[in-house]
Structure 1
Amino acid sequence: MRRVLIAAGLVPAGLLLGACGTTSDGPAATDGPPAAVQDDFAAQQRKAENMIADCMKQKGFRYVPSTTSTVSRVDQYIGPPSLLQADDVVRPLRQKYGFGVAAKEVYPNDPLVNEPNASARENPNNKIREDLDEAQRQAYDKAMGTGGKPGVAGTPGCVEQASKAVFGITDINRAEADAERAWEKFGSDPAVVAAAQKYADCLRSKGYRISRGEPGEVETFVLEQVRPASAVAVGEEDTSTAGDPRTALKAEIGKALDDLDCRGPYADIVRTRYPSIVHLSRGQG
């Protein structure tokens, strides 16, 4: 099952990216959104976050402007975001870092595996909300516009106000429904389903015990095997940093390259026909 990526301000990142002009069946893309487009989106997101903070302050709540949905440098070569990169961009990174798990110990000062600001990617507003009592939390959600339908009580919530002002999104619920439909369209596209099965079959031919090869899941199967917690869960050898990290990295690199070699047509379809799906789904839930 997909896990919707929640951006700062509790706004699904796919909705905001969609507001910038990326759609599931939009124009072809080869290497993901251009840097200028990503920078423009980041600036817009910062503006929206500041608006949410000001709005919440007026309603008596603390809100910290945050951009936790910003794609990290590690995303260039691991997980769903890497599907937006051409294989010749991903390959040299995986040849050195694998999936970036054991590489954290082998290259402790390399920002491509150990980002200095990694801890800052946790949204501080989650804790702010959790620390409220039940009545305050309900009031907080109503102020944000996340406690049901935005604006149902009269005034739109702060998220909806900022989204409308900055991105032109006038109805968060409708935008969420549109995102859900985009995902369903992707997952039911015969070409996508066939490419995902081909991806899974290729992994099976390399000895991976993959039971399902569904769109949105197949691209994280090998990655989840090399993450410490999930390696034990699937009964595979833990290729994390247990023992010699360089030995672990060597094994991890092999798996990362197997995955890259198998993803071919599936990655091509995602990159050229469904780039926004990457931002609607990150990993499995």
Structure 2
Amino acid sequence: MTMRSAPVGVALALALGGCGTSTATRPPSTSTSTPTSTSTSTPRHDREHEVQVLKADCMKGKGFRYVPFVYPDTPSSETDWPLRSGDHEAEKAFRTKYGFGISSILVYRDEMPGSGPLPDNPNDAIRNDLSDAQQKAYAKASNACESQAIKKVTGMDVTDAHDHSSKVNVLINRQLRSEIDGDPELVRLASAMADCMVTKGHRMTSTKPLDVAKWGGAVIGRELHELARRDDTSIPPYDPENDSGYLPKLSPAEARRVLDREIRLALDDLECGKDFYRLYRPKADKVVAEVDERYGL
């Protein structure tokens, strides 16, 4: 079973692409190391750096060595999520191969945008050198220090970085509900998109704009999440408002069958939603960017 958390950067793709869930291409900052310099500094990146420095100081106070570390941002490129560009043909080409970008991580693990190798985290080696008992104490201290640092920097009460990502996603969805579902033109276009999807044999459960935008990805995400829960009962139930989930272990043939179905659904979604997404994307992008700038790490 592979965990898929949805950091805010991924939530942006979800909001823009009609996906209800997606894969994270970098781990949440619970396992992070030495601040990496980047060519541009953003409030979000500065906050992540600050959290790491505070966490290292806290860990030192608890008797553990911890190296502040921020994973480098994945640069945009021609292979980055084309759904963010508004180019219909580019998005169609993406969806023809990757669907919504959910189960495709199981088939094209090394080809997905942003899935290149990550730098080694020095804290992994530090933790692995400890005894089993010390590792448990280290993990407990790590979560406590991370929670403390995130609260100081963002003002949010969280248990760790994964919980922070989940709560930011909930904030994004709450704001999207307010601004997207109340737009009369989006309401009209979402209803038309839902009618189109029904004619293609899909059972739509809502015609609210945000529900329609997220419906296709949520269908696949929920299915994979429940398969993962079947193998690991400790996994919590799927939460559609969180935009995060878990991927199960599937054989190559099983993963391919899921992806083929996802691709068909994603292409129907794109065809029926061509007019809807043209208006929805810039509005959703603005909402996600605003929440990300305020609370994201």
The TM-score, its normalising length taken from structure 2, stands at 0.50
Within a 5 Å distance, the mapping from 1:1-285 to structure 2 comes to 7=8, 44-58=43-57, 60=61, 64-66=68-70, 76=81, 82=83, 85-101=86-102, 103-104=104-105, 106-112=107-113, 115-117=115-117, 131-132=140-141, 137=144, 141=147, 143-144=148-149, 146=151, 157-159=152-154, 183-227=177-221, 228-229=223-224, 243=253, 246=256, 248-278=258-288
Residues in 1 aligned to 2:47 and 2:216: alpha-carbon distance in whole angstroms? 36
Structure 2: segments with no counterpart, 5+ residues: 1-5, 13-37, 125-135, 156-169, 228-236, 238-249, 293-297
TM-aligned CA deviation for residue 91 of structure 1: 0.7
* Conservation of the 8 A alpha-carbon contact between 2:186 and 2:279: yes
Structure 1 residues 106 and 179, CA gap change in structure 2 (3 angstroms): closer
- Deviation per residue, 1:133-192 (Å, 9 max, x gap): 9xx94x864x4362xxxxxxxxxx2346xxxxxxxxxxxxxxx99995565123212222
Q: Give the distance between the partners of 2:171 and 2:89, measured in 1 at CA.
A: 35
Distance verdict in 2 for CA 1:52–1:187, change over 3 Å:
same
Q: Distance in 2 between matches of 1:90 and 1:273?
A: 18
Percent sequence identity over aligned pairs: 19
Could you say if the C-alpha distance between residues 273 and 257 of structure 1 is closer, same or farther in structure 2, counting changes exceeding 3 Å? same
Q: Report the secondary structure of 1:271's partner residue.
A: helix
Q: Distance in 1 between matches of 2:215 and 2:255?
A: 22
In structure 2, the CA distance between the partners of 1:97 and 1:186, relative to structure 1 (3 Å rule), is: closer
Aligned-residue offset at 1:218 = 1.7
Question: Does the C-alpha gap of structure 1 residues 184 and 55 become closer, same or farther in structure 2, counting only changes over 3 Å?
Answer: same
Question: Match for 1:203: what amino acid?
Answer: M
Q: Tell me the secondary structure at the aligned position of residue 273 of structure 2.
A: helix
SS of the aligned residue for 1:276 comes to: helix
Aligned-residue RMSD, C-alpha: 5.0
Structure 1 unaligned residues grouped into runs of 5+: 15-38, 147-156, 161-175, 234-239
Q: Report if the CA contact (8 A) 1:242-1:248 is conserved.
A: no
TM-score of the two chains, using structure 1 as the length reference: 0.51
